[in-house]
C-alpha cells in the first residue's frame, strides 16, 4: 500500500512537469490502478431468474413467515433500507419507514447488492465470513459446508457461487429471518424452508418452478441459494455508469467537474489505493477508524469476529463504489448520512473518529443509537487504522465539491440516474449525465 501512495505522488509530480491533459492523466491512473469496465454477468437463466425473483419477495423463507429479503434489500433504497443499522425479524415496514417493533437491532448496515454476482466478488458480508478458498472449497460459518468432504455435501456441491452461499445465512439467522429465540441448527432451518416451499400453500407452483429452473425434483437449500443469486446477479448489475463508458473510450461522457473530481480521487484523496480495480474496491478489508455507532455499550470488532486474530480488529470489507450515491447511509454501521460527511471524515480521519458528533434523531429504533466513546476502544481504533490511510489531506471546498460530483454522478448506473435529483443544487457545476 505504501508503494502505491509513493507511486501516486510521483505520478502527480510527473504529470505536472509533462503538461499532460486531464484525460491523459486519467488514462494513466486507470492503467496504474488496474481499473476496467464492470464485466457482464453470465447469460441469464430465465427460469432460475424468475424463481429467484419470487423467492426474494416470499416470506416463506423466514421461520415465522413474517419477513422476506426485499424488506431489508429494497431497490427503492439502493438495495438497502436507508437506515444506519439493520432491523431484523419482528420489525415492521420497509426502508426508512421500517420500525423496530419487536425486532432486533443488528450490528451493521444492510449492504447493497450491486455486482455481487460477478465471479470476482469473492468475499461477502462486512467481515468477509463467506468466501471460496484457494482450493475451490467454501469457507463459511457453517462447518458442514466447508472443506473437501463437507457433512452437508449435497448442499455444498449444489451451490454455484459465493453469492448463492451468502444468501443462505440470513435465512438461518434467528435475528434476521429465522426468528428470534429459535434453537434450530442451520441445517434444520434450511430443511424447513425447502419443506415449506415444496409442500406449503404454494407448493404446487414452486415444485414446477424448481423443475423448470433446475430440471430435477430433488431440491435442497442450495437450489434456493442459486436462484436467489441468479436474480441478484442480473437485477442488480450496475455496469453502465459514466465511468465505465469513459473507460471504454467515451471521453465526453464525463463533465469537466467530474474529471477534476477524478483527479482528486486519484491524487490528493488517494482513494484509488483501496477503491481501484474493476469493482472500485480491492474487495479486502481495512481499518479506517469509523466511529462506532450502535446501541449503548456495543462495539463491533469487524473481521476479528470471523477470524479471532488480533490484527483483524476493526477491519471491514472495502465497499465497491458503483451506485454509491443511492446507497446511503455509509460505512459498515451507516454512521455517515451522506457523501459529504464521508469526504469530510477522510479529510482527517483521526479527528473524525475522536470528534464525530451524532446528530440524527431516528424514531425507527426503540432505544436511540449512540456513538461509543470508551477511551480504550477509541485508542484501539486509532492504532488499528491502516498505515497508508492519509491522515491530514486538507481538501479545499472546491476539491470536495469536485470529488463529490465524481462519486455521485460518474459512478451511478444509467438505470439509477433519475434518482440524482437536486445534484445541481448541491454543486451548481455538477449535473447528471444523459447516457
Reported as a single tens digit per residue, the pLDDT across 318-332 is: 999 999 999 999 999
Distance between CA atoms of residues 312 and 203, nearest Å: 45
Collapse the DSSP code of 302 into the 3-class scheme (helix H, G, I; strand E, B; otherwise coil) and give the result.
strand
Evaluate whether 381 touches 287 at the Cβ level (below 8 Å): yes
- pLDDT value for 7: 39
Quick: pLDDT tens for 238-268.
Answer: 999 999 999 999 999 999 999 999 999 999 9
DSSP 111-148: PP-TTTTSTT--EESTT--EEE-TTS-EE-S-GGG-SS
- pLDDT value for 6: 40
The set of cell numbers assigned to 380 is 484501539
Distance between CA atoms of residues 371 and 169, nearest Å: 28
Evaluate whether 138 touches 150 at the Cβ level (below 8 Å): yes
Q: Name the residue among 288, 291, 426, 420 with its Cα closest to residue 359.
A: 291
For residue 371, report the phi and psi dihedrals to the nearest 5 degrees.
Answer: -90, 125
Residues of the chain with confidence (pLDDT) below 70: 1-18, 120-121, 434-435
- pLDDT value for 18: 53
- pLDDT value for 120: 66
Do the domains spanning 2-38+240-426 and 46-73+113-235 agree at the CATH topology level?
A: yes
Pairing between strand 285-286 and 316-317?
antiparallel
Evaluate whether 113 touches 124 at the Cβ level (below 8 Å): no
Angle (deg, nearest 10), helices 221-235 and 186-199: 80
Residues comprising the chain, all counted: 435
| Separation in Å, CA 400 to CA 39, 244, 258 | 30, 22, 11
Distance of CA 10 to the CA centre of its chain: 32
Tell whether pTM > 0.95: no
| Separation in Å, CA 184 to CA 127, 175, 181 | 24, 13, 9
Quick count: other Cβ atoms within 10 Å of Cβ 241?
27
Distance between CA atoms of residues 209 and 73, nearest Å: 23
Distance between CA atoms of residues 201 and 331, nearest Å: 40
Proportion of the chain above pLDDT 90, given as a percent:
90
Distance between CA atoms of residues 124 and 111, nearest Å: 10
Residue spans per domain, the chain: 2-38+240-426, 46-73+113-235
Q: Name the residue among 90, 81, 104 with its Cα closest to residue 62.
A: 90
Q: Which fold has domain 2-38+240-426?
A: Cytochrome Bc1 Complex; Chain D, domain 2 (1.10.760)
In this structure, CATH architecture of domain 46-73+113-235: Orthogonal Bundle (1.10)
Distance of CA 185 to the CA centre of its chain: 27
For residue 53, report the phi and psi dihedrals to the nearest 5 degrees.
Answer: -60, -40
Helix H or strand E segment including 293: strand 293-294
Residues 6+ apart with CB under 8 A from 56: 68, 69, 70, 73, 228, 231, 232
Distance of CA 144 to the CA centre of its chain: 26
Amino acid at each position: 500500500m505504501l508503494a502505491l501512495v509513493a507511486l501516486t505522488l510521483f505520478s502527480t509530480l510527473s504529470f505536472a512537469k509533462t503538461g499532460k491533459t486531464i484525460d491523459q492523466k486519467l488514462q494513466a491512473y486507470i492503467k496504474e490502478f488496474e481499473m476496467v469496465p464492470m464485466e457482464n454477468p453470465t447469460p441469464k437463466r430465465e427460469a432460475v431468474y424468475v424463481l429467484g425473483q419470487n423467492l426474494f419477495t416470499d416470506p416463506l423463507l423466514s421461520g415465522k413467515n413474517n419477513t422476506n429479503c426485499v424488506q431489508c434489500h429494497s431497490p427503492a433504497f439502493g438495495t438497502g433500507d436507508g437506515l444506519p443499522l439493520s432491523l431484523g425479524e419482528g420489525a415492521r415496514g420497509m426502508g426508512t419507514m421500517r420500525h423496530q417493533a419487536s425486532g432486533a437491532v443488528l450490528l451493521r448496515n444492510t449492504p447493497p447488492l450491486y455486482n455481487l454476482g460477478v465471479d470476482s466478488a469473492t468475499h461477502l458480508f462486512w467481515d468477509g465470513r463467506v468466501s471460496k478458498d484457494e482450493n475451490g472449497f467454501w469457507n463459511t460459518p457453517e462447518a458442514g459446508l466447508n472443506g473437501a468432504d463437507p457433512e452437508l455435501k449435497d448442499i455444498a456441491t449444489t451451490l454455484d457461487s459465493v453469492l448463492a452461499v451468502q444468501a443462505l445465512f440470513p435465512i438461518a439467522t434467528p435475528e434476521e429471518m429465522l426468528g428470534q429465540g429459535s434453537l434450530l441448527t442451520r441445517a434444520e432451518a434450511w430443511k424447513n424452508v425447502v419443506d415449506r416451499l415444496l409442500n406449503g400453500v404454494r407448493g404446487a407452483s414452486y415444485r414446477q418452478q424448481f423443475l423448470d429452473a433446475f430440471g430435477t425434483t430433488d431440491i435442497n437449500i442450495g437450489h434456493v441459494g442459486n436462484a436467489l443469486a441468479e436474480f441478484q446477479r442480473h437485477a442488480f448489475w450496475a455496469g453502465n455508469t459514466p465511468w465505465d463508458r469513459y473507460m471504454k473510450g467515451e471521453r465526453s461522457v464525463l463533465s469537466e467537474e467530474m474529471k477534476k473530481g477524478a483527479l482528486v480521487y486519484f491524487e490528493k484523496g488517494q482513494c484509488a489505493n483501496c477503491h481501484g480495480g474493476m469493482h472500485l474496491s480491492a474487495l479486502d478489508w481495512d481499518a479506517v477508524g469509523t466511529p462506532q455507532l450502535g446501541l449503548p455499550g456495543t462495539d463491533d470488532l469487524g473481521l476479528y469476529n470471523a477470524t479471532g486474530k488480533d490484527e483483524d480488529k476493526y477491519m471491514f470489507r472495502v465497499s465497491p463504489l458503483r451506485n454509491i450515491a443511492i446507497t446511503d447511509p455509509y460505512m459498515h454501521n451507516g454512521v455517515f448520512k451522506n457523501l459529504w460527511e464521508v469526504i469530510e471524515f477522510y479529510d482527517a480521519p483521526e479527528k473524525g473518529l475522536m470528534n464525530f458528533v451524532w446528530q440524527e434523531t431516528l424514531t425507527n429504533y426503540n432505544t436511540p443509537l449512540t456513538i461509543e466513546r470508551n477511551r480504550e476502544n477509541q485508542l484501539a481504533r486509532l492504532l488499528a487504522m491502516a498505515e497508508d490511510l492519509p491522515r491530514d489531506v486538507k481538501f479545499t471546498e472546491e476539491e470536495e465539491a469536485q470529488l463529490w460530483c465524481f462519486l455521485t454522478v460518474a459512478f451511478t448506473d444509467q438505470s439509477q440516474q433519475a434518482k440524482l435529483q437536486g445534484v445541481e443544487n448541491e454543486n451548481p457545476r455538477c449535473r447528471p449525465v444523459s447516457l
